[in-house]
Structure 1
Amino acid sequence: MTMRRLLLLACVLLLASCKPETNTPVPGTTPSAGSGPEVAELSLVDAQKKLASGELTARALTQAYLDRIARIDKAGPTLNSVIELNPDALRDADALDAERKAGKVRGPLHGIPVLLKDNIDAVGMANSAGSLALAGNRPTQDAFLVARLRAAGMIILGKTNLSEWANFRSTRSTSGWSSRGGQTRNAYVLDRNPCGSSAGTGTAIAASLATIGVGTETDGSIICPSSVNGLVGLKPTVGLVSRNGIIPISISQDTAGPMGRSVTDVAIFMNALAGVDEADPAGHAAAGNIPDDYAAYLKADSLKGKRIGVLRQTMGFNPEVDAGIEKSIAALKAAGAEVVDVELPTYGKWDAPEFEILLYEFKDGLNSYLKSHGSAHASLEALIAWNTANADKAMPIFGQEIFEKAQAKGPLTDAAYIKARDDARRLAGKDGLLAALDGDNLDAVIAPSMSPAWLTDPVNGDHFTGAGYGVAAVAGTPSITVPMGESHGLPLGVTFMGRPYSEPELIGFAYAFEQATKARKAPEYKATISP
């Protein structure tokens, strides 16, 4: 097949996955409001108030989001961010309304709709990691974090699309694409990429398709899609949010976390997400490290007197990103912080051992998940065989090189794995970020979250040019991205990184920065960027 035909085929496949319904608004136009309550840019706090006052019911709020998903995600701009709706969402909303009417309110999240990434177990829906091979994987038990959300009174609205297998199938994958869900678009500029792997959550929450959402991260999968979709995204300390019931990549680095349109929404949501799960290998360490209320740290003067480091080793890949960081530094200083440059002697040296860890841990963790869920494909080896046999629909635009590399690895008792695990955590943590924080007496370190969103390219895959979140991901420590500006209408974010379990302080810093800059703008669903 000629290269021209390959290009045309890839483009046809991409467009087919995003094709709008007929008789719908032209992509790039701002979607019109429906007949129900207006939920565009509705904050969690305002939704709380409307529910408490009786101005809104949980059913009306849930229906409004379902209508908006139909109008924007499946028609209109065709964002293609929601992969499946919860068939019981309205029934659950009715039950919560009945509880409220009877005087039982579970807390501030009672009646709030949430979207989950499609690698998190939730009863009533498939959990597929975006793979057609797992389209029939229907968990009989909620993930630990989902059980917490339901107990808090939240309504599981549905599941969001993701980069298939959380971007751990191929070295030339296209973020936001899955064989089950197709290609998710960026809400700001439709031909741009939403980043991944929590692509669907990023786009959906930017477009106000739910009040708030859950993403997961191994290395960048919360921070990157939050940054390019103009969101606040918090990657917690590993183990602070349970991983049980989440399709895994790495037991060393995986975590779930909140993605929202404001620091306030994220802080309130963290109260439900964070919890000690003794069955999680890292869960016991969270005991004693969870505050009564993350929202108590939402103080506009949180940066006053603090010492913030700038990791300039993560800069230099985009002049507008660099300019955004310089403006951010000025805002930090104006808010009363002292800002100094920091350097990590180990910078980037963790990359090779990290990848080795992920290969080993992916095979081990995925095999355990598949067996425990009674999957028809009970191992990574079986999935590789299924993908090969169904390549036309499972692998139309990229392959499974990473799957094959992982399958070749041995058990977690291998000396090579143990050395890589210890080296990566030391280079990024003890001798990296933590050494900088302690050595320079810093309260946090900042870095650019990500480049502006790139054009979605199913032929060549993703076009990453630079990011600053990696060190915290490998160290297992928390980070939070906040909008800091834009480049040609594409959002830019700055990431704050800190010590283990410093989420309360990072939330405070992010809130003070957010209030000082007010950088976030709502998406306009532009078709492309005009010259």
Structure 2
Amino acid sequence: MIKTKVFCLLVVLTLGFYSCKEQKTAQTDNKAIELSELTVSDIHKAYEEGSFNSEQLVQAYVERIKDFDGTINAITTLNPKALEIAKALDKEYKETGILRPLHGIPIIVKDNINTAGLPTTAGSLALKDFIPEEDAFIIKKLVEAGAIVIAKSNMAEWAFSPMHTESSTAGTTRNPYDTDYVPAGSSGGTGASIASNFGTIGLGTDTGNSIRGPSSHNALVGFRTTLGLVSRSAIVPLYLRNDVVGPMGRTVEDATKVLEIIAGYDSDDPLTKNSEGKIPTSYTQFLKKDALVGARIGILRELSDNDPDPEIKTLFEQSLSELDSLGATVVDSVVVPGFASLKENQWCAPFREDVEGFLANYVKNDSIKTIEDIIKAGSTSEFAKERLLRNAEHTGRWEDSEIPCLDAYTDTRRIAFREAIENVMDSLELDAIVYPSWNNPPARIDHFQEEYLGDNNQVISPHTGQPAFTVPMGFTAKNLPAGLQFLGRMYDEPILIGLAYSYEQGTKHRKTPNLQKAPTNGKLD
């Protein structure tokens, strides 16, 4: 006991810790674990009380995936070492009495993030045999914090589609709230799996939509953080100038705990140099239920009133009333001078440069070095084939290739757009701007292109670099989720965390999908 206390003190002084106390022995293996809506705090409390251990939790999640993933097709690969890792973490806890910040927390990782020993395919046939030898920087940090990569999740091939999640390696992912509908793209596998309680929390990537869209469509919290806050190294890029990686979870608190681990400088991602001096000692300190009290929230009607679906319009207006009732001053509405022109001609297409750089740095396969090699490898997705050809032929700004494509800190068009928004926020003393993440509900899978409407995620933050968080704001009559988005100034994650948490806790809009068990197909056995 004395040795344990001394060890705990050393950990406090050097590494920091989640908890340091004697733990009870986990109860019988036969006791069923209620996985529905489990949070990091719930799990760590159970570990401390001995209700279950990490090995038992991983086994329970794996069994749930095998029982239900055939219905939604969200998981591409189970980690065969997950139970072994869990056992080691249980042994460590038994010996030290210490829970690391994410000790024994099963996470699901999008299939474009390098994970050692597991395929990282980006949904493509070209990478179907690529198994990285090392974890991406953010995965290393999560593993050091005690997280367990339990599985990889399906994605839109090469992250091309915000509309739906279809890949050549795993097929099409369905929305767990209604399997006739899309989970959005491209992180739809992460969104559908976390909504279905296949893991505690997930990772997605967002070039224009792909964290916030699937989070909105699956009643999740999704953090697109400030460009430069979180490393993108060893992640298959779409357009690196826009790409962000971040948490997708069932609660703001869980997403915040992941952000707290992954934020920070990585020498392999020079953009993260901009985050130095801008990261607080703790993000969880901003999880305050009363954060909306006295806050000033602006409404960007130019987005919210852009031909919205009547049900989404009603949910959004209801959310404004909820913000008001929770103590916020709602400023209706916010007008950004020149907004329509500033948002135009922002998209660039450096896919060739970015993906060929990834292939050279990480894949190192002489037969897969260029876009042409990728095209030659083939695809089962007509949508992905068209996008590959399009990106092979075009590498600059979509509307005017003479204007250079630069990062959010040096591109004058991006800076002007951001300054216009932040100047208005400053003049009105706003803490955030809100709008629906989508003005329309999810599309039907069989009609995903014609029903792709109302995607507000693409308009601002991917170009300005500003953080934007989505939180559940309710459901349509068909039980399809919708999300409310909070947009903040650069590096205003502390403010957005407080506002999103306060709204979430004050409304409790999230509910679990009524997922039906699938017939056994042996896919993940």
Same fold (TM over 0.5): yes
Indicate conservation of the 8 Å contact 2:167/2:380, yes or no: no
- After TM superposition, list the pairs within 5 Å mapping 1:18-97 onto structure 2: 36-74=32-70, 78-97=71-90
- After TM superposition, list the pairs within 5 Å mapping 1:131-170 onto structure 2: 131-167=124-160
TM-score (norm 1): 0.85
1:339 is displaced (CA, Å) by 1.1
Match of 2:27 in 1: none
Indicate conservation of the 8 Å contact 1:174/1:456, yes or no: no
Deviations 1:281-324 (A, max 9, x none): 21111112222221111111101111111011112321111111
Q: Does 1:446 align with 2:434?
A: yes
Q: Look up the SS of the partner of 1:416 in the other structure.
A: coil
Q: Look up the SS of the partner of 1:496 in the other structure.
A: strand
Alpha-carbon distance in structure 1 between the residues aligned to 2:80 and 2:468? 34
Indicate conservation of the 8 Å contact 1:175/1:195, yes or no: yes
Do the aligned partners of residues 399 and 294 (structure 1) sit closer, same or farther apart at CA in structure 2, a change above 3 Å counting? closer
Alpha-carbon distance in structure 2 between the residues aligned to 1:230 and 1:241? 24
Match of 2:414 in 1: 425
1:405 is displaced (CA, Å) by 3.0
Indicate conservation of the 8 Å contact 2:164/2:448, yes or no: no
Counterpart pick for 2:179 among 180, 183, 190: 190
Indicate conservation of the 8 Å contact 1:276/1:287, yes or no: yes
- Which amino acid in structure 2 is aligned with residue 283 of structure 1? T
Which deviates more from structure 2 when the two are superposed, residues 491-500 or residues 46-55? Answer: 46-55
Match of 2:13 in 1: none
Do the aligned partners of residues 48 and 106 (structure 1) sit closer, same or farther apart at CA in structure 2, a change above 3 Å counting? closer
Which deviates more from structure 2 when the two are superposed, residues 436-445 or residues 100-109? Answer: 100-109
- Which amino acid in structure 2 is aligned with residue 343 of structure 1? V
Q: Look up the SS of the partner of 1:342 in the other structure.
A: coil
1:411 is displaced (CA, Å) by 8.0
Alpha-carbon distance in structure 1 between the residues aligned to 2:452 and 2:423? 28
Match of 1:493 in 2: 483
Counterpart pick for 2:502 among 480, 495, 512: 512
- Which amino acid in structure 2 is aligned with residue 54 of structure 1? G
Deviations 1:254-278 (A, max 9, x none): 1111111111111122111212213
Do the aligned partners of residues 305 and 261 (structure 1) sit closer, same or farther apart at CA in structure 2, a change above 3 Å counting? same
Counterpart pick for 1:208 among 172, 197, 200: 197
- Which amino acid in structure 2 is aligned with residue 274 of structure 1? A
- Which amino acid in structure 1 is aligned with residue 435 of structure 2? A
Indicate conservation of the 8 Å contact 1:299/1:511, yes or no: yes
Do the aligned partners of residues 396 and 269 (structure 1) sit closer, same or farther apart at CA in structure 2, a change above 3 Å counting? closer
Match of 2:521 in 1: none
Q: Look up the SS of the partner of 2:483 in the other structure.
A: strand
Indicate conservation of the 8 Å contact 2:44/2:99, yes or no: no
Q: Does 1:377 align with 2:368?
A: yes
Do the aligned partners of residues 427 and 325 (structure 1) sit closer, same or farther apart at CA in structure 2, a change above 3 Å counting? farther
Alpha-carbon distance in structure 2 between the residues aligned to 1:332 and 1:449? 16
Counterpart pick for 1:398 among 372, 383, 388: 383
Deviations 1:9-64 (A, max 9, x none): xxxxxxxxxxxxxxxxxxxxxxxxx9731212112210111112222111001001
Alpha-carbon distance in structure 2 between the residues aligned to 1:56 and 1:419? 50
Alpha-carbon distance in structure 1 between the residues aligned to 2:381 and 2:224? 32
Match of 2:267 in 1: 278
Indicate conservation of the 8 Å contact 1:307/1:337, yes or no: yes
1:420 is displaced (CA, Å) by 10
Q: Does 1:332 align with 2:323?
A: yes
**How many aligned positions are there?**
475
Which deviates more from structure 2 when the two are superposed, residues 342-351 or residues 366-375? Answer: 342-351
- Which amino acid in structure 2 is aligned with residue 313 of structure 1? E
Match of 2:237 in 1: 248
Match of 2:282 in 1: 293
Do the aligned partners of residues 377 and 399 (structure 1) sit closer, same or farther apart at CA in structure 2, a change above 3 Å counting? same
1:429 is displaced (CA, Å) by 1.2
1:329 is displaced (CA, Å) by 1.1
Alpha-carbon distance in structure 2 between the residues aligned to 1:408 and 1:509? 43
- Which amino acid in structure 1 is aligned with residue 386 of structure 2? E
Indicate conservation of the 8 Å contact 1:314/1:467, yes or no: no
Indicate conservation of the 8 Å contact 2:109/2:203, yes or no: yes
Counterpart pick for 2:514 among 524, 527, 531: 524
Alpha-carbon distance in structure 1 between the residues aligned to 2:454 and 2:493? 24
Indicate conservation of the 8 Å contact 1:106/1:152, yes or no: no
Alpha-carbon distance in structure 2 between the residues aligned to 1:82 and 1:507? 29
Match of 1:23 in 2: none
Q: Look up the SS of the partner of 2:270 in the other structure.
A: coil
Alpha-carbon distance in structure 2 between the residues aligned to 1:406 and 1:117? 22
Counterpart pick for 1:465 among 445, 453, 471: 453
Q: Does 1:503 align with 2:496?
A: no
Alpha-carbon distance in structure 1 between the residues aligned to 2:374 and 2:246? 27
- Which amino acid in structure 1 is aligned with residue 414 of structure 2? R
1:104 is displaced (CA, Å) by 5.8
Q: Look up the SS of the partner of 2:35 in the other structure.
A: coil
Alpha-carbon distance in structure 2 between the residues aligned to 1:334 and 1:385? 57
Structure 2: give runs of 5+ residues left out of the alignment: 1-29, 518-525
Alpha-carbon distance in structure 2 between the residues aligned to 1:69 and 1:201? 13
- Which amino acid in structure 1 is aligned with residue 453 of structure 2? T
TM-score (norm 2): 0.86
